[in-house]
Chains A and B, each alone.
Chain A
Amino acid sequence: MNELSGLSRLRFLPAFLWAVALIALWEIASWLLLEVLQVPMAQSKLPYIHEIVSTFGQYGNTLANEGWVTLTNAALGFALGAAAGASLAVLMSASKWMERLAFPYAVASQMVPILGLAPIVYGIVRDEQAARIIIAAYITFFPVSLNMLRGLRSAHPYALELMHSYAAKPWTIYWKLRFPASLPGLFSGLKIAAPLAVTGAILVELMGAQHGIGVIMLRNLYYGPSHTYMFWSTVIVGALLGVLSYLIIGWIERLAAPWQPEFRSKGGGR
């Protein structure tokens, strides 16, 4: 076990050093722009990272509160969209008719710029809360349903015949075989959708809302160069929310479906 954690530490070491190097490079570039090249609005374009960090210390509470609003709204829409998407996948896998009806549209919707719909949805409901949730749900819906359907179909034909040989009822086949087999697909859909749901929520906030990280992002942008560090802080919070949403889903996946090949320790196998 000890050796294992040592190994994984070694695996993340390059990424860590990369991050450190990038931050150093950033600081130097920022200094060059400001002091040497004296570019106009240098700090707005590439602010000192230490200044942003100090802003984080100063306004941490505000950033956390607004970020929390965005995250919870995105999460609510995400949960609704995921539930609806998974249900559609089950319907499509159970009924040939349903599949023929819905599948082409689900695929086509993947080629349509979905986020472009945000202003339209906002235009229809005119309610920031509802618009945020609807957009997050809509964005989540299709990737989840397509990936879940792929997962439901991934059950091996022999495994289905085995169930048939046990004279298992259709419901039992779903419960014991198809659902567990679909979990990897479901989670890959969820992992695609989670950062998108956060993006969708922030987009709605930029178009007009009372609370959320997007609101203070826009406000500090309008205040101009004097608020540049706060603006950059909001951008970073937005990015962190996206990464966080991905990590949370990944963590849930580890709990819900720990048997997947990518979670297998290299040393344990025979």
Chain B
Amino acid sequence: MTESTAALVPEIELEQISMQYPAAFSDVLALQDVSLSIAKGEFVSLLGPSGCGKTTLLRIMADLIQPTGGRIEVAGKSAKEARLAQRYGIVFQNPVLYDWRKVKQNITLPLELKGVKKSEREARAMELLELVGLQKFADQYPWQLSGGMQQRVAIARALAMEPEILLMDEPFSALDEFSRERLNEELLSIWSKVGNTIVFVTHNISEAVFLSDRVFVLSPHPGRLSAVAEISLPRPRTKEMRNSEAFFRLIAQIRDSFEGV
């Protein structure tokens, strides 16, 4: 997870990606020539104001939409092959838990679709629930959990297929600041145990700085990559670092990069 090993093996590579949406009068350019490379085991954030195309970029990596131009490689394959091979797990802004399934069954859903045996599924679900600290809630319905807990279930579900990559689209944006910070810390602890590559979309600068090895800063109209910030804070990151001078300096630095746009 250190910079030196990270630079060796690329996990996600984008080359000149662009995305054009047809509109009534003129087509909207959501992304223009975005090129970036994300290393295996790296934690990166895509940061920017609304309309900068950060979510679009993530959805392209997930093969939920196809770019109108450029080349993309995920885990050494095309985005579609990576999706079909279940090389990534995805977490949305909402937990998107199925109301009719208990917490445990929500986590086993992707395993069910892959035909994993029931006993194996259940064991895996309990492991994951332990990882996110929700063992006690296995047999509750989603509505019986708080918003933060629901999002933790969504993370556990995304990890069910043991993917190399975790794609997260503003997963904590609907939570209050206190829950968000707590979940940031928890996510890092999960990541330190699982060790996969994480791409994290956010519009919150301090969140991006706290979590990431690198922050890709995007700017809107048209959406493009405007800066890359290396976050030199040591790992493991702790609550106390939020108050460190280095932390504030990094935030200021990134904020300045927006001013320049």
Contacts and interface: CB of A to CB of B under 8 A. Distances in A.
B86 A166 contact: yes
B109 A176 contact: yes
Contact of B88 (A161, A165, A270): A165
Contact of A162 (B63, B88, B96, B112): B96
Contacts of B96: 156, 158-159, 162
Interface stretch (B140-148, B178-186, B190-198, B236-244): B140-148
Contact of A167 (B84, B94, B112): B84
The main secondary structure of chain A at its interface with chain B is helix
A268 B96 CA distance: 21
A168 interface: yes
B83 interface: yes
B98 A159 contact: yes
Given A166-B110, A176-B109, A270-B144, A158 B94 contact: yes
A177 to B, nearest CB: 7
B66 to A, nearest CB: 12
A26 B98 CA distance: 49
B99 interface: yes
A180 B98 contact: yes
Contacts of A165: 62-64, 83, 88, 90
B92 A161 contact: yes
B100 interface: yes
A270 B148 CA distance: 12
Chain A, interface residues (CB within 8 Å), range: 20 to 34
Nearest to B167: A165
Interface string A153-189: 0001011011011111000100011001101000000
B98 A270 contact: no
Interface in B130-184: 141, 143-146
Contacts of B99: 259-260
A40 B141 CA distance: 62
Interface in B74-133: 83-84, 86, 88, 90, 92-94, 96, 98-100, 109-110, 112-114
A116 interface: no
Nearest to B110: A166
B7 to A, nearest CB: 28
Interface centre among A162, A261, A264 (most CB of B within 10 A): A162
Nearest to A270: B146
B86 A269 contact: no
Contacts of B144: 268-270
Question: Nearest 5 pairs between A and B by C-beta?
Answer: A158-B96, A180-B100, A158-B92, A259-B100, A167-B84
18 contacts: A158-B96, A162-B90, A165-B83, A165-B90, A166-B86, A166-B109, A166-B110, A166-B113, A167-B86, A168-B113, A176-B113, A177-B98, A181-B100, A259-B141, A260-B99, A264-B143, A270-B145, A270-B146
Interface of B: 62-64, 83-84, 86, 88, 90, 92-94, 96, 98-100, 109-110, 112-114, 141, 143-146
Given A183-B100, A259-B143, A269-B143, 14 more contacts: A158-B93, A165-B63, A165-B64, A165-B88, A166-B86, A166-B113, A166-B114, A167-B86, A172-B113, A176-B112, A257-B100, A259-B141, A261-B143, A268-B144
